[in-house]
Structure 1
């Protein structure tokens, strides 16, 4: 069979032919390469200082009039607000404000000279600045930067006192700080320009409710403080009438809710009671009585306290012990167990220190031993 010239099929590459060698890259390396392109950048940290394409794009952001540059940043901020990226939005508004306050950009030498309406441009800049301050206030409010929010609202309101959003955000920041008087002023300031604004009306009701609550708390606090002052004055009168000496030290013991008190805190003639501690100095033990009435005796309390669990030798019983109290001068007196507390304290010799009556309980058989030790420790042997 005759053969002809080679057909096009003969020149096709075989499916099994080897491809030219290429450098293999991992997925991470490919992603890193893509991030060098502005389209795929996810962070400014990915920026390469030598990336000319990115530098050119960055330069474009700052091209144009101050209003044009600021508006670009404002739009960026608004986009971030939509996704609640408050920090990024705040930074964009800050850049917009900085652009408006910066020097005007000089025109290129080859630029066509166009007559500019200075008044219109100034009005546009003022409008942009107001919007950026009000929007940055929102970001600071959401980030709980209440002081910064108030400062931004004040700046916006200086530019336009009719900016109801600025009034609302200022009131919200003041309310968060419990500065209710200022929050009330801000609500009323906004409602003066938009009396039908439902958001401001609701916020005003919230502020008034909080203000009333704080006022009630303050009233209760003042009444409580005034009552404490009156009660303390009545207690001093009661002590004076009973000839009882009392003194407070710099470091009083913690007695929780136990305290010297009158049955009627505002009646000096009502029954007076004291916390009392029974000390067992020979055994380094003690018992605490939260309230001992002035007509009660030490013996009445010893009856239900003695004997104690730690008294293995049964040295302590109501009949086998003596009681001693320290005098204001640092000495000792034997306290009659059957004398009322009022008679003991009203003798003019004993001092109630830090609102606590102290009674030393000692077995009669060892009383002389303990008294000598007491005098020795006091330097009176």
Structure 2
């Protein structure tokens, strides 16, 4: 058939082109269709069809209601929607604890057909449903890394059926994730008692044993390290005591990174002792830090390469033109001989090593007297 203008016509108009949509958009639209819905909470409360579906979900015996939720939970598990699945399994377990719901026809007028419920069979259905929901909810919690909740659900399933191998497997997996090796091993071996050829449990057992052995090695290494460190600390205290060096700790220890008081041989108190030393220039608010000042070295040996400092524009600070002072434990000052070894300076028992650090004040000879006077005045006011 043709139209007056000669154009060919069809029996019906062509359908409009399909709008391209992303996978997420398609899934979102499908969830609006009751057939594809996976969560009751996402449904439109004003939708009559939805209300009917909700009513159906709660019709029947407790076992039937629970089984309905369990099936929905299983569908969510297939889609790896762990949170939704856990919600459905929880609803199923709640339904099993609710009041018994009579089957259709068990109550009513005399004209209605009376159906007798097999209490024993119904109890078995409820038991089976509860076991499955506990075990499946344990899977959801395991996937969501809720290991404590996973173990509780496994316990719920195993209380109903100690032969539930899946529950043993999931309990062992949760304990492994928590590094609870004895519990993980016990759960895995318990499952293998009921199913000795279970490949998943055998593989898990190997993982548990390897992790257990690794943790034992780590613990052994930690224990040995702590013992060694304790012995080294004791040896260092002995070395300080033998040298008559006084040490004191405060609550405001400076951050010295890896610098510390140490022996060249941490196990030998008679080996070479070195200490962090800070040279302070109090009149200029400057300082120089020596990470390892050996006890046999002198102040002069270090001043030779430290002085003059880059900030000293007047060249006041050179090894021959400075004097060094150290504070005493009672708040006074002693002049530190530049050619004396550090061990001799510290071994007088008059100065302290505070927070593992030796402090030496460096002042120009021309200003030393005034600085000492000012120091005494400041201390006198304290």
> Aligned pair 1:58/2:57, yes or no?
no
Task: Tell me the residue number matched to 1:100.
Answer: 96
- 1:176 Cα deviation (Å)? 1.3
C-alpha change, 1:220 and 1:350, in structure 2 (3 Å) is: same
Q: Secondary structure at the match of 1:69?
A: helix
Task: Tell me the residue number matched to 1:149.
Answer: 150
C-alpha change, 1:272 and 1:43, in structure 2 (3 Å) is: closer
- 1:55 Cα deviation (Å)? 2.5
Supply the distance in 2 between the matched residues of 1:269 and 1:73 (Cα, whole angstroms): 76
> Aligned pair 1:272/2:273, yes or no?
yes
Task: Tell me the residue number matched to 2:222.
Answer: 221
Supply the distance in 1 between the matched residues of 2:206 and 2:302 (Cα, whole angstroms): 59
Deviation per CA, 1:150-205: give whole Å up to 9, x if none.
11100000000000000001111111122222111111110111111110111111
Deviation per CA, 1:99-139: give whole Å up to 9, x if none.
22211114441442223322122112111111111011111
Deviation beyond 6 Å, 4+ runs, structure 1: 34-37, 40-43
C-alpha change, 1:125 and 1:380, in structure 2 (3 Å) is: closer
Supply the distance in 2 between the matched residues of 1:43 and 1:87 (Cα, whole angstroms): 10
**CA RMSD, aligned part only?**
2.1
Supply the distance in 1 between the matched residues of 2:381 and 2:50 (Cα, whole angstroms): 93
- 1:36 Cα deviation (Å)? 8.9
- 1:53 Cα deviation (Å)? 4.1
Supply the distance in 2 between the matched residues of 1:38 and 1:368 (Cα, whole angstroms): 95
Supply the distance in 2 between the matched residues of 1:86 and 1:322 (Cα, whole angstroms): 75
> Aligned pair 1:72/2:68, yes or no?
yes
- 1:261 Cα deviation (Å)? 0.8
Task: Tell me the residue number matched to 2:176.
Answer: 175
Unaligned runs of 5+ in 2: 1-29
Check the 8 A contact 2:39/2:84 in 1, yes or no.
no
- 1:46 Cα deviation (Å)? 4.3
Q: Secondary structure at the match of 1:292?
A: strand
- 1:39 Cα deviation (Å)? 5.8
Q: Secondary structure at the match of 1:379?
A: helix
TM-score, length of structure 2 as denominator length: 0.86
Deviation per CA, 1:303-353: give whole Å up to 9, x if none.
111111111000011111111111111101111000011111111111111
Supply the distance in 1 between the matched residues of 2:376 and 2:228 (Cα, whole angstroms): 44
Q: Secondary structure at the match of 2:93?
A: helix
C-alpha change, 1:160 and 1:38, in structure 2 (3 Å) is: closer
Q: Secondary structure at the match of 2:289?
A: strand
Q: Please show how residues 1-381 of structure 1 align to structure 2 within 5 Å.
A: 38=34, 44=40, 45-49=42-46, 51-106=47-102, 107-110=106-109, 111-379=112-380
Deviation per CA, 1:204-248: give whole Å up to 9, x if none.
111111111122111111111111211111111111111111111
Check the 8 A contact 2:73/2:86 in 1, yes or no.
yes
C-alpha change, 1:309 and 1:99, in structure 2 (3 Å) is: same
Supply the distance in 2 between the matched residues of 1:57 and 1:356 (Cα, whole angstroms): 77
Unaligned runs of 5+ in 1: 1-33
Q: Secondary structure at the match of 1:288?
A: strand
Supply the distance in 1 between the matched residues of 2:241 and 2:197 (Cα, whole angstroms): 66
Deviation per CA, 1:18-61: give whole Å up to 9, x if none.
xxxxxxxxxxxxxxxx9998568787544234x44433332222
Query: Which region of structure 1 is more displaced relative to structure 2, 212-221 or 193-202?
Result: 212-221
Query: Which region of structure 1 is more displaced relative to structure 2, 81-90 or 190-199?
Result: 81-90
Task: Tell me the residue number matched to 1:24.
Answer: none
- Structure number with bigger Rg: 1
TM-score, length of structure 1 as denominator length: 0.87
